A and B are shown apart, each in its own frame.
Chain A
Amino acid sequence: MSSKDINIRIGELETGIGHIRDLQVRIGRVLDEKWAEPAGPTPFPSLTALRNWDRTLLNRYRPFYLPFCDLCCLCTYGKCDLTGSKRGACGISMAAQQSRIVLLAACIGAATHISHARELVAHLIQEFGRERKLDAGSSVEVEAPVIRLVCGIRPRTLADLEPVLDYAEQQVTALLSATHTGQEGDPIDLESKVLHAGMVDQVGMEVADIAQISAYNFPKAEPATALVDLGMAAVDTAKPVILVIGHNVPPAAGILDYLQDRGLAGGVEVTGICCSAIDASRYSPEAKIVGPISWQMRYVRSGIPDVVVVDEQCIRTDILEAAKAHGMPLIATSEKVCLGLPDRTADAADAIVADLTGGRSPGAFILDPEKVGEVAVKTALAVAPARRAARNAPYRVDPREEAGRCGGCGFCQRACPNDLNVPKAMQACAAGDTGMLAALYDACLGCTRCEHACPQGIPVHSCILAAAGESIRNERFSMRTGRGAIGDIEIRQVGGPIVLGEIPGVVAFVGCANYPDGGRELAEMAGEFATRKYIVCTSGCAAMTIGMYRNEEGKTLYETYPGDFQAGGIVNVGSCVSNAHIAGAAIKIASIFARRNLRANYEEIADYVHNRVGAVGIAWGAMSQKAASIAAGFWRLGIPVIVGPHGTKYRRMLLGRADREEDWYVLDARSGEEVYTGPVPEHLFIAAETPEEAMILAAKLCMRPNDTARGRALKLTHYIDLHRRHRGGIPDDLPLFVRTASDIPITMKEELLQVLREKDWKEIRIPDPTLLRRPARGRQD
């Protein structure tokens, strides 16, 4: 694309139509001429520019399809039965159909972040001007690693982000069109497009986060950001309370600004759910975080919020009904989520407030974040006194009375994603014991499917909440707020130990709250890896969840571990869009530590990251399409992702085959020879059944062909230890990961050598690994 980009500047020209002065014509995009770094081969890559790299990965990590059902229902030819080798009326196979759905999910996810970024950049330009400088932090020289890598440009101002978004939008449109009936039909080409969607999604996320960090002055690559309050009990219910839900922070910022400007700060509680909460806390330490996405019903039904403000993404689509039922006026603030409400953007704030407080309207749709601030605060102040009573009667149910109506039909359990045994708990509750019902609280996702299934109309979720009142009243935790990027100095310090394998790995806990058995599992996993001196990164709902548990000393993980990007740190980068900084850290290791050129040099950098940076993502509660596209962005960089058991519903895994030796050869960049390395990393996308299995997998998936012997020994120590503890015994596949006797952890040397001898193990050599046929550097042909 870039080769066709033209920039023409004409000082003076006489033409048939007249005299032209200072005409500048820009066609396409122009690369930064002041940037000394040479441009790589793929600036603004098209749909197929990185197809060879994708095929290299997909040849090793083949799709394993797990169809959701037998049918395709996409067009009016259908429904088509695609069972086994049957084809749809359009000719599509079951395999391609699964990839197509994954691509659709990835496009939805990428479109969501990119559209969010567009809305944010447009707003910030309006508020702060086009020339507002981007600033990811004084310790951050490489301010936009993903954009540099993918687009080949260095954005300097908010305005520079616009052509980046133009590119991302074009790509998503083209990708989406490929899912139309009668377009792409090859599963592997569809998968390549999934990876493209993931990469473009990372670009969109990076745009959004560096824009808001710069303009709103969020923490800038600071390891020790403030600890903010987390949990329902952190809310001071004596004050009027505003709840913000979603991902786009300007309305929340509007509320906080209004409070500040009117001297009302501290007089009104600004609380949030999901990423708007995280970003509000990055904007002001006054903001409080209630919890992840699954806390929406819990919190609204608690009666605590006086006003609900929704922006975009991850909002329950029945939130207006829920808010209405609890007498909370609702303000919708995004064109993407209007909820049927009247557009009041042009109306005077006081008129809107009068309608909301007078009960004439359950809500308003307001597109101006400043006006949202004024209306939300005034409404909260006005309705709060009358709503005090509602707060004193949370959930409005008597579980014992409700349980008395339960017929034990079991429909609630069968509707429950986590198969929670509600009927048994109801039986016990009817007999006077609410303990079992309360015990369901932690694993309950707050989805309310049980309520819709119950033929008796029992408000099951509310019964669980009422029974668990005590735990909810104690829900007060802490979270270190999002720090943004990883500083260049931090990268310099840990780059070597990571690449050489002496820090056993970087484990990133990301994604939503669709946990199979509650959030405690996630917190335990994060604590385990931090104790083992991995670098633990986190973002979004996962970042909140890991702050919601206390150890024996009564401390949360954030109070126990530092926020530095170093061994044993727990690094909260921020909201969902801050995920780009985790990818960015891996990319920066290649550029800052290894001095590889970043600029438009995707293949080489991804090859570097894949072969040398022992990083793995764990999206234990991944649920949304955004989680699908975020994962896809990591896959294209060759970084493996583990999901929880619900993750098989993403319809396909990308699995390596450790037993196929031919799959695990790399080129030795020094000699050009093909060298067997063992299956590292073994998978690119895999669902684990239990947290124990996820931990064993994560330790294994941090191994890389480039590990030094010392590094590999350390990684093996953790792998073997976790395996012994949770599966029992030494792993069967141990011989595949020991390259030379020096890889064997010293404390287990004799025992392991014995095992290896029995399995006919042979030493292999450690190469300078690359998957690129075109040598990255140094190879003599």
Chain B
Amino acid sequence: MTDTDSWQTAEVGGPRRAAVIRKAVAAAAVIRRAERPILILGHRAGERECNGGRMIDCLIGLARASGCTVVASGNASSALRERGYPPHAAMPAVELGSRLTDPAWTGIDGKGAYDLAILAGLPYPMAWTLLSALKHFSPVKTLCLDPGYQPQATWSLPNISLADWAAFMHALNASLASTEGGG
């Protein structure tokens, strides 16, 4: 198996597969290009250890650096609050997903539709079905930042170790922060 076979063996999406993002600058470019990105954080981000902390610490770094709206699903909200970074909203992932497929939805803040959904920390099958829903029923582009390849996304990381993932996130956050800082 290669690092761009789906992480869970039998998840073979179909003819259109996610473009693989290997370099943090490429992910940063995707996020920078988006006008209204939204980050959907699942509970596994608060549970999986990496780099002496949890995945969620790196993802909070991303939220800060990109300034995107954060929606916590599962009980990720508690993990965010514990770290002093309450989400903009807490709701089940499928509930948010259904709103994203509604062209009339004006977002959590009422300021307009989102054009990029970034996913991390959901159970793999939940992320894959949600990404599939967005692929088929909405114009929203999707970026999966979990360390396992998700063919149903627009862009996905390949299958990488948690150590490599932490390094990737570090570089991504640095890249976004430098852009934000440099205007």
Contact = CB atoms under 8 A, between A and B. Distances in A.
A516 B123 contact: yes
Contacts of A95: 137
A657 B99 contact: yes
A653 B94 contact: yes
Interface in A62-81: 62, 64-71, 81
B15 A415 contact: no
A125 to B, nearest CB: 44
Interface in B1-32: 1, 7-10, 12-16
Interface string A450-466: 00010000000000000
A729 B125 contact: no
Interface string B39-80: 000110000000000000000000000000000111101100
A649 B93 CA distance: 14
Contacts of B92: 686-689, 693, 697
B133 interface: yes
A692 B42 CA distance: 13
A81 B136 CA distance: 11
A692 B74 contact: yes
A727 B73 CA distance: 9
- Determine which residue in B86, B90, B105 has the highest number of CB atoms from chain A within 10 A of its CB, and name it: B90
A58 to B, nearest CB: 14
A689 B42 contact: yes
A230 B137 CA distance: 46
A645 interface: yes
Contacts of B133: 64-67
Interface in B77-91: 77-78, 81, 86, 89-90
Contacts of B75: 690, 692-693, 726-727
Nearest to B101: A64
Nearest to B132: A67
A69 B129 CA distance: 8
A167 interface: no
Interface string A581-607: 000000000000000000000000000
Interface residues of B, number: 44
A238 B7 CA distance: 46
Contacts of A64: 94, 97-98, 101, 133
Contacts of A453: 9
A648 B125 contact: yes
A66 B94 contact: yes
Contact of B129 (A94, A411, A649): A649
A728 B78 CA distance: 6
Contacts of A648: 94, 125-126, 129-130
A518 B162 CA distance: 24
B4 to A, nearest CB: 13
Contacts of A686: 92, 94-95
Contacts of A177: none
B136 A83 contact: yes
B135 interface: yes
A673 interface: no
A18 interface: no
B77 A83 contact: no
Contacts of A68: 129, 132
B122 interface: yes
A646 interface: yes
Q: Which of A82, A419, A648 is packed against the most chain B CB atoms within 10 Å?
A: A648
A659 B10 CA distance: 37
A65 B43 contact: no
Interface in A440-486: 453
Chain A interface residue bracket vs B: 35 or more
Contacts of A82: 136
A726 B136 contact: no
Contact of B123 (A653, A689, A729): A689
Contacts of A697: 92
A414 interface: yes
A16 B67 CA distance: 92
A693 B95 CA distance: 12
A318 interface: no
Contacts of A690: 43, 74-75
Contacts of A70: 13-16, 132, 136
Interface in A397-426: 411, 414-415, 417, 419
B132 A646 contact: no
A234 interface: no
Contact of A732 (B10, B74, B90, B105): B90
Nearest to A419: B124
A70 B132 CA distance: 8
B15 A81 contact: yes
A82 B137 CA distance: 11
Given A645-B125, A690-B43, A727 B77 contact: yes
Which of B14, B73, B89 lies at the interface centre, i.e. has the most chain A CB atoms within 10 A of its CB? B14
A71 B72 CA distance: 31
A653 B81 CA distance: 29
Nearest to B138: A84
B126 A645 contact: yes
Most buried by A among B78, B89, B95, B99: B95
Nearest to A728: B81
Contacts of A729: 77, 81, 86
A521 to B, nearest CB: 12
Contacts of B95: 655, 683, 686
A727 B90 contact: yes
Nearest to A67: B132
B125 A414 contact: no
B8 A83 contact: no
Nearest to B89: A732
Max chain B Cβ within 10 angstroms of own Cβ: one of A66, A690, A692, A729: A66
Contacts of B93: 689
A728 B12 contact: no
B126 A65 contact: no
Given A692-B75, A693-B74, A726-B75, A83 B7 contact: no
Nearest to A62: B98
Nearest to B100: A64
B139 to A, nearest CB: 10
Given A453-B9, A728-B81, A69 B14 contact: yes
Contacts of B98: 62, 64, 653, 655, 657
Contacts of B12: 69
Given A64-B94, A727-B77, A649 B125 contact: yes
Q: Chain A CB within 10 Å — which of B72, B75, B78 has the most?
A: B75
A155 B94 CA distance: 42
Nearest to A650: B129
Contacts of B135: 83-84
A697 B90 CA distance: 12
26 contacts: A64-B133, A65-B133, A66-B133, A70-B13, A81-B14, A83-B14, A411-B1, A414-B8, A414-B9, A417-B125, A516-B123, A648-B94, A648-B129, A649-B129, A653-B94, A657-B102, A683-B95, A687-B92, A689-B43, A689-B123, A690-B75, A726-B78, A727-B77, A727-B90, A728-B78, A729-B86
Interface of A: 62, 64-71, 81-84, 94-95, 411, 414-415, 417, 419, 453, 516, 645-646, 648-649, 651, 653, 655, 657, 659, 683, 686-690, 692-693, 697, 726-729, 732
Interface of B: 1, 7-10, 12-16, 42-43, 72-75, 77-78, 81, 86, 89-90, 92-95, 97-99, 101-102, 105, 122-126, 129-130, 132-133, 135-137
Given A83-B14, A693-B75, A729-B86, 10 more contacts: A67-B129, A82-B136, A95-B137, A646-B125, A655-B98, A683-B95, A692-B75, A727-B72, A727-B75, A732-B89
The 8 lowest CB-CB distance pairs between A and B, nearest first, are A70-B14, A689-B74, A66-B129, A64-B98, A648-B129, A728-B81, A690-B74, A727-B77
